[in-house]
Amino acid sequence: MGTVSNNKENNNMNSGREGIRGWLNPTRYGWERVSYWLQRLTGLFLLVYFVGHVYETSSLTNGVDAWNSMLELTQTIGGHIFLILVIGTSTFHTVNGIRLIFTESGKGLGKPGRPDYPYNPSSLNYTQKSGIWIALLLACIAMLYGGMVLFGEGG
């Protein structure tokens, strides 16, 4: 096309792409965008946890003392908070992930039809939004319960 050829071509403003900054802000386009953002964030968090978890449990091969000193890490306040986050993220990621397996295979989004003003897109329907809310709610409940067990008596 050659409509935009000049030497500033490669700066981000001219390419206009939002880049990672566009991803970082999930507040602009409704709940589905929040779901997308959280699914990725929780997925990456769980990945980090999973690597750490394998490292933690493998300490058992260095004898029972190494294992016990690892366990002590999770008995600190920071360790408790980290575990509560693991409980919350894994609950959200699993529940919302099961929802996404269906929606991303075209299930539960409704059928195409004749669009009429004001055009409510059927893929953004309330059943699916409720799925996101339920995943969030269950994550909160799980974190509360986890918090009670971890910080409660004998914790």
Partner 1 sequence: MSNEENKKVQLKVYRTNYNKDDSSHYDKFEVPVKRWTTVLDALLHVKSYSDSSVGIRYSCRMASCGSCGMKINGKPSLACYTKISELKDDVIVCEPLPNFPRIRDLVSDFSQFFSHHKNMKPFIQNDKVSVDIDDKSDLVEFEQTHEDVDKYLQFSYCIRCGLCYSACPTVATDPKFPGPQALSQAYRYEADGRDNSKKTRFNIIDERHGIWRCHFAGSCSVVCPKGVDPALGIQLLKGHMLGLSKNNKKISTLRTKNNE
Listed residue (99, 82, 110, 87) closest to 39, CA to CA:
99
3-state helix, strand, coil in the chain (%, to 5): 70, 0, 30
Structure tokens at 39: 């699914």
Considering only CA atoms, give the Rg of the chain: 22
Query: Between vectors from CA 154 to CA 150 and to CA 155, what angle results, nearest 5°?
Result: 20
Nearer to ligand HEM, 88 or 93 (CB): 93
Q: Which of 84, 100, 132, 136 binds ligand HEM (CB under 6 A)?
A: 100
Q: Per rule CB under 6 A, is residue 134 in the interface with ligand HEM?
A: no
**Partner whose binding site includes residue 107, from partner 1, ligand HEM, none (CB under 5 to 8 Å by kind):** partner 1
CB 38 → ligand HEM: shortest distance, Å? Answer: 9
Listed residue (101, 96, 88, 98) closest to 140, CA to CA:
88
Q: Which of 41, 85, 124, 149 binds partner 1 (CB under 8 A)?
A: 124
Structure tokens at 107: 């299930």
Listed residue (139, 147, 152) closest to 45, CA to CA:
139
**Partner whose binding site includes residue 105, from ligand HEM, partner 1, none (CB under 5 to 8 Å by kind):** partner 1
Helices 126-151, 77-103: axis angle to 10 degrees equals 160
CB 85 → ligand HEM: shortest distance, Å? Answer: 13
Nearer to partner 1, 35 or 91 (CB): 35
Which residues of this chain interact with ligand HEM, rule CB under 6 A? 39-40, 43-44, 46-47, 50, 93-94, 97-98, 100-101, 104
Which residues of this chain interact with partner 1, rule CB under 8 A? 1, 3-4, 6, 8, 13-20, 22-23, 28-30, 32-33, 35-37, 39-40, 100, 103-107, 109-110, 112-117, 119, 121-124
